[in-house]
Amino acid sequence: MDSYNFKYCGLNVTLSTLSGKWKAVILYQLFNHGEMRFTELWRIIPKVTKKVLLEHLKQMENSQLVTRKEISSFPPEVYYSISEKGRALGPALVALDTWANEHAADDVQLLRSKNKAHF
């Protein structure tokens, strides 16, 4: 496959949609916790800034991977959840995790040992 065809193939579109340091973590948390308030997500994801979290959530909302629900109250309540389109990524994300555990186990273990204190 040449670079032109790769640029417009489904794999590249998917990787571009999921690119970003925190997107996989955000999806993981929403898969496991369901609907979450912004502040809940921010507290449960170590080291992410509010600005970056908001940017990633907006990007994923624009890609229709997550849904945003705002409840008019004082202060306003904002909830995020996985959309049906985002939920369809579940098997692919599990497959990537399985691949990493089988074929990059040393890298996975190294990351776990470096970040043990954060989780």
Residue 96 in domain:
no
Q: What pLDDT score was predicted for residue 119?
A: 44
Q: Where are the alpha helices (DSSP H) in the chain?
A: 3-7, 10-18, 23-33, 38-44, 50-62, 84-87, 90-103, 105-114
> What residue numbers bound the domain in which 22 lies?
3-88
Residue 9 in domain:
yes
CATH number, domain of 49, equals 1.10.10.10
Q: How many domains does the chain have?
A: 1
Q: What pLDDT score was predicted for residue 113?
A: 83
Residue 42 in domain:
yes
Q: What pLDDT score was predicted for residue 116?
A: 66
Residue 16 in domain:
yes
Residue 107 in domain:
no
Residue 101 in domain:
no
Residues of the chain with pLDDT under 50: 118-119
Quote the pTM value: 0.81
